[in-house]
């Protein structure tokens, strides 16, 4: 069965610090998809990135970057020069490409990031 683990329940940093959110996943499939979502205090879930299992290139989008390593089954998320607006709960999620499971997302427990001024 697929599983996503976000071992860091809460992280607190001071503005302008870099912070890395860890995500470790388990799957028996060779084809799968990984996602990150952000849930700000207002409650909605905001899509950040989608990555398929065949693309191990790291990705950078502004202050955000993602490091995908199949060898360690990890898909970590780094925020550079954090800002107070980055304060939110961040979820890592996995979707397996199986006929029987549809496109369901399996979410990790989430990491509450607090950026203090």
Partner 1 sequence: DSGVTQTPKHLITATGQRVTLRCSPRSGDLSVYWYQQSLDQGLQFLIQYYNGEERAKGNILERFSAQQFPDLHSELNLSSLELGDSALYFCASSALGGLAADTQYFGPGTRLTVL
Provide the binding-site residues for partner 1, judged by CB under 8 A: 31-33, 35, 37, 43-47, 50, 52, 91, 95-107, 109-110
Q: How far is the CB of 87 from partner 1 (least distance, A)?
A: 18
| Beta carbons of 77 and 64 less than 8 angstroms apart | yes
Q: Which residue has the tokens 């207002």?
A: 42
- Closest to partner 1 by CB, 14 vs 30, is 30
Q: How far apart are CA 85 and CA 27, in angstroms?
A: 33
Q: How far is the CB of 98 from partner 1 (least distance, A)?
A: 7
């Amino acid at each position: 069965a697929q599983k996503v683990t976000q071992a860091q329940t809460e992280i607190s940093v001071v503005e302008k610090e870099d912070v890395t959110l860890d995500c470790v996943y388990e799957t028996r499939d060779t084809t799968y998809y990984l996602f990150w979502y952000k849930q700000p205090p207002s409650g909605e879930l905001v899509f950040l990135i989608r990555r398929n299992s065949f693309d191990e290139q790291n990705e950078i989008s502004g202050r955000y970057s993602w490091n995908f390593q199949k060898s360690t089954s990890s898909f970590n998320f780094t925020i550079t020069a954090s800002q107070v607006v980055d304060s939110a709960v961040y979820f890592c999620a996995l979707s397996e490409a199986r006929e029987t499971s549809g496109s369901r997302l399996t979410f990790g427990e989430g990491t509450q990031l607090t950026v203090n001024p």
